[in-house]
Structure 1
Amino acid sequence: MTGSSGTRPAAFVVWALTRAVLLLWVTKVVTPPGLDVTSDVSVIYHGWSEVLRSGSYPQSDVTWQYPPVAALAVLSPALLPFLDYATAFYVLAFLCDALVLGMLLRASDGPGRRAAGVWVWVAGVPLLGTTAYARYDVMVTAVAVAALLAGLRHPRVLGALAAFGALLKVWPALVLAGTARGRATRLAWGTAAAVAAGLLLVCVAAAPGALAFLGFQRDRGTEVESLGALVFHVWRQFGWEGRVELHYGSLEFLGPHVPLVSTLALGLSVAAFGWLLVWRLKARTFGVSTPADAAFTAVLLFTTTSRVISPQYMLWLVGLAAVCLVLRESRMGWPAVLVVAATGVTQLEFPIGFVHVVTSDAHGLTLMFLRNGLLVAACVLAAVRLWRDTVRAPSREAVREAAEPALSRAGRADTPASAP
């Protein structure tokens, strides 16, 4: 499918209809199924904004687990003073959603591009339900999408946006994983380091508690929706004596052997980082889609192996998958499909079926195995395809060197023989 003029109105119509439903849900004009997830905005975010406006980060609140630039997202509803805090936040989330759509539509035009990525975003966001607008992750995803698309031509812009995104929510730093060796990497990584250092200094100087989030993140446990939590969901059926409690802002398993499983999850993340490093050292072919493919794969690996897989994390994957599928060269089609399917299952487990997940009943077990199974399958498939396309594929230099003798022979054959 190519980015044709016919795609634009169809994508926009579907986007407008689904986003209208999301806005009606989060503003409670219509009551969606499942738990109400908007209290994070109206209570938690609003409370943080009051603390931030007083001149300090929420350094005594263990639920504040975000890098210092996240303060901008929490304070952003002040840009719309004529609305109450929650409504202003939802409107800004909607505008960021629209921004991503616009960037993808523009990027889908031209040779080597296609509209599949536009449809990944159009379909993927509403599959997450109200969580999509009731967290600030759509804002972070917009920054990451902008970074990758800008990086196709401007490595410095990629680096600057990656640094800004990393200080919003850490993970956008991974969009730098697939930059081509040489000048592009030097420009992108150097710019990212300089911008990150500058922003961090400004935040530390501006208010106390800018780095408090580091300690709060360190003490997280095994959240009930994570891959490691499957151990305890199953073990509960055989008499495990642990419990589920609200801990550091999320529902986590607490009890025997939880620290061990949390440590093993960290080990998986370290292994994922090790694989990514090996890939980076061995990759020989960096194509147009490699930065997006590598970013998608990296974030997918770290999300899946994390001790915490909050529902809103799926937005990151949907946004990065959308960028991949805008580029015709990308082979991340099936991993993207698996991610979109996992996003739909995520809404079924949270908020719709969350009580089943917390109690580890048969329904909850089915949902968690299905969602996490889809993520694991996407990880394996994405990693294999990235490796094959960049490590096993011959480099451009090798192709050129192999072609030169044949071209030389062809040139000699085409040269007219001299007259006797």
Structure 2
Amino acid sequence: MLLLLVRDDLGIGGVGREVALYQHWYGQFATGTFPPGDVTWQYPPGAGLVIMAPGIVPSLTYFQAFVALALLADAVITLALARADSERLTHGAWFWVCGLPLLLHLPLARYDVQTTALAVLALLAVNARSTAAHRLGGALAGIGAMVKVWPALTLIGTPRGRTTREAWTAAVVAALALLATLALLFSESLGFLRQQGNRGIQIESLGGTALALARAADVWPGRVEFRYGAFEYVGPYVSSLGHLALLLTVAAFGWLLLWRVRARRWTPATPLDAAFAAVLLFTVTSRVISPQYMIWLLGLAAVCLTSRRTVMRPAALLLLPAAALSSLAYPVLYLELLAGTASGLTVMVLRNGLLLAAALLAARGLWKETVTTPAEG
């Protein structure tokens, strides 16, 4: 992974360019503001802390420090999973260690490993027995939500009652405290909301795959443009498809709320399984599926696999070929994907088909394990 990052010429190349963008943002943070009017800044204010961190590491360049911190976060995840595995004779750490390299050098050039570390530690803490652990897990989830939103979903499956009160309260307090602190220290802390609302259909999303197939069949006249820091489709029906994606995301959230109300049984794996299923559902219904989203899913799947009671094994195993296909899509065959060639389309159809299958399997498994009575199953 390090060698690929140093050479950085695989496929379209330039995977490490994102770190240069982070360094540019770091320079703006030093002036006391989040990037004003920058359409590529689409992250909650807590992300600023992760992006500022490499700049204060002594004796290293920003790039070197960023990679070192990504490796440190990877090590933290591995050790936490290995500790959970040793207590239960499971294989979550092996899944993470074998799965992450399938994404090639991408994890070292994005800050998603750091975010995933917060989510993994939050889940493992919430699943412990003590009040202090529940509060710690909630606080980590709240901080993670201020870094990249999705870690808030790690609390969707906490058992009803005291655990939920402790974890959710800690999450809200931690998130609000961090938000207030950053709002006092920096201007434009909520500017990212303007950019997120304008996002279109990214070419790697499920909606993007549908448009690519329609364009290949000459039934849709749209084109690809670089907008808001990503390649998106522009043309007829894109806005309608974007609204449909938002409706599907709302429907996924509604399903999760219904599941939580209807759930009758909680096993030790339920909080882990619910978090994984939730992030999968929000991923496949999103207008945007960036390559680094696979880092989140691999981390959450690995946490599920630290429990013998998990029902997410089939969905987790589908992520391994999906991760490999993601690396083919970006960076290896990205030019093919942009051009809409047969090879690019094939890779995206297979990758997104696997993600959709994993999401449906995860949702079905979660419902069957916790809602359906044995007689109904």
For normalisation by structure 2, the TM-score amounts to 0.96
Tell me, in whole angstroms, the C-alpha distance in 2 between the residues paired with 1:172 and 1:107. 20
Could you list the per-position Cα deviations for residues 57-96 of structure 1 after superposition, in whole angstroms to 9, with x for gaps in the alignment? 0022010000001011111112423111111111110111
Query: What secondary structure is seen at the aligned counterpart in 2 of 1:81?
Result: coil
RMSD of Structure 2 on Structure 1 (CA): 1.2
2:128 counterpart of 1:139: no
User: Is the alpha carbon distance of 1:75 and 1:336 closer, same or farther for their aligned partners in structure 2, counting shifts above 3 Å?
Assistant: same
Cα deviation, residue 197, structure 1: 1.3
2:212 counterpart of 1:227: no
Structure 1 residue identity aligned to 2:247: G
Tell me, in whole angstroms, the C-alpha distance in 2 between the residues paired with 1:53 and 1:340. 40
Structure 2 residue identity aligned to 1:368: M
Query: Retained in 1: the 8 A contact 2:90–2:308?
Result: no
Could you list the per-position Cα deviations for residues 279-304 of structure 1 after superposition, in whole angstroms to 9, with x for gaps in the alignment? 00000111111111000000000011
Query: Retained in 1: the 8 A contact 2:11–2:334?
Result: no
2:369 counterpart of 1:389: yes
Q: Which residue of 2 aligns with 1:61?
A: 38
Q: How does 1:90-101 map to 2 (within 5 A)?
A: 90-101=67-78
Tell me, in whole angstroms, the C-alpha distance in 2 between the residues paired with 1:204 and 1:31. 39
Tell me, in whole angstroms, the C-alpha distance in 1 between the residues paired with 2:239 and 2:12. 31
2:143 counterpart of 1:164: yes
Query: Retained in 1: the 8 A contact 2:123–2:271?
Result: yes
Provide runs of 4+ in structure 1 moved above 6 Å: none
Query: What secondary structure is seen at the aligned counterpart in 2 of 1:228?
Result: helix
Q: Which residue of 1 aligns with 2:98?
A: 123
Query: What secondary structure is seen at the aligned counterpart in 2 of 1:256?
Result: coil
Q: Which residue of 1 aligns with 2:29?
A: 52
Q: Which residue of 2 aligns with 1:87?
A: 64
Query: Retained in 1: the 8 A contact 2:144–2:151?
Result: yes
Query: Retained in 2: the 8 A contact 1:158–1:188?
Result: yes
Structure 2 residue identity aligned to 1:83: L
Tell me, in whole angstroms, the C-alpha distance in 1 between the residues paired with 2:213 and 2:363. 28
Could you list the per-position Cα deviations for residues 142-196 of structure 1 after superposition, in whole angstroms to 9, with x for gaps in the alignment? 0000001111222111110000000000000000000000101111111111111
Cα deviation, residue 23, structure 1: 1.5
Cα deviation, residue 361, structure 1: 1.1
Tell me, in whole angstroms, the C-alpha distance in 2 between the residues paired with 1:79 and 1:313. 27
Q: How does 1:376-415 map to 2 (within 5 A)?
A: 376-393=356-373
Q: How does 1:317-328 map to 2 (within 5 A)?
A: 317-328=297-308
Query: Retained in 2: the 8 A contact 1:354–1:364?
Result: yes
2:79 counterpart of 1:102: yes
2:186 counterpart of 1:207: yes
Cα deviation, residue 129, structure 1: 1.1
For normalisation by structure 1, the TM-score amounts to 0.86
Tell me, in whole angstroms, the C-alpha distance in 2 between the residues paired with 1:23 and 1:219. 35
Could you list the per-position Cα deviations for residues 182-218 of structure 1 after superposition, in whole angstroms to 9, with x for gaps in the alignment? 1011111111111111111111111100000011101
Q: For 1:195, which of 174, 196, 210 is the aligned residue?
A: 174
Q: How does 1:340-359 map to 2 (within 5 A)?
A: 340-359=320-339
Tell me, in whole angstroms, the C-alpha distance in 2 between the residues paired with 1:99 and 1:178. 23
Tell me, in whole angstroms, the C-alpha distance in 1 between the residues paired with 2:373 and 2:154. 22
Query: Retained in 1: the 8 A contact 2:142–2:171?
Result: yes
Q: Which residue of 1 aligns with 2:14?
A: 36
Cα deviation, residue 393, structure 1: 4.2
2:5 counterpart of 1:26: yes
Tell me, in whole angstroms, the C-alpha distance in 2 between the residues paired with 1:116 and 1:333. 11
Tell me, in whole angstroms, the C-alpha distance in 1 between the residues paired with 2:253 and 2:363. 12
Could you list the per-position Cα deviations for residues 371-413 of structure 1 after superposition, in whole angstroms to 9, with x for gaps in the alignment? 000001001111111001111247xxxxxxxxxxxxxxxxxxx
Cα deviation, residue 34, structure 1: 4.2
Tell me, in whole angstroms, the C-alpha distance in 1 between the residues paired with 2:228 and 2:162. 42
2:318 counterpart of 1:338: yes
* Unmatched tracts of structure 1, length 5 or more: 1-21, 395-420
* Unmatched tracts of structure 2, length 5 or more: none
Cα deviation, residue 241, structure 1: 2.0
Cα deviation, residue 35, structure 1: 2.1
Tell me, in whole angstroms, the C-alpha distance in 2 between the residues paired with 1:114 and 1:279. 29
Query: Retained in 2: the 8 A contact 1:148–1:158?
Result: yes
Query: What secondary structure is seen at the aligned counterpart in 2 of 1:59?
Result: coil
Q: For 1:78, which of 50, 55, 60 is the aligned residue?
A: 55
Query: Retained in 2: the 8 A contact 1:125–1:315?
Result: yes
2:255 counterpart of 1:278: no
The structure with more radius of gyration = 1
Tell me, in whole angstroms, the C-alpha distance in 2 between the residues paired with 1:355 and 1:190. 46
Structure 2 residue identity aligned to 1:106: R
Cα deviation, residue 104, structure 1: 0.6
User: Is the alpha carbon distance of 1:55 and 1:260 closer, same or farther for their aligned partners in structure 2, counting shifts above 3 Å?
Assistant: same
Tell me, in whole angstroms, the C-alpha distance in 1 between the residues paired with 2:351 and 2:265. 33
Could you list the per-position Cα deviations for residues 87-131 of structure 1 after superposition, in whole angstroms to 9, with x for gaps in the alignment? 111111011111111101111112xx2332111101111101111
| Paired residue total | 369
Tell me, in whole angstroms, the C-alpha distance in 2 between the residues paired with 1:125 and 1:114. 21
Tell me, in whole angstroms, the C-alpha distance in 1 between the residues paired with 2:250 and 2:55. 39
Structure 2 residue identity aligned to 1:90: V
Tell me, in whole angstroms, the C-alpha distance in 2 between the residues paired with 1:384 and 1:167. 30
Tell me, in whole angstroms, the C-alpha distance in 1 between the residues paired with 2:67 and 2:366. 36
Q: Which residue of 2 aligns with 1:179?
A: 158
Query: Retained in 1: the 8 A contact 2:39–2:229?
Result: yes
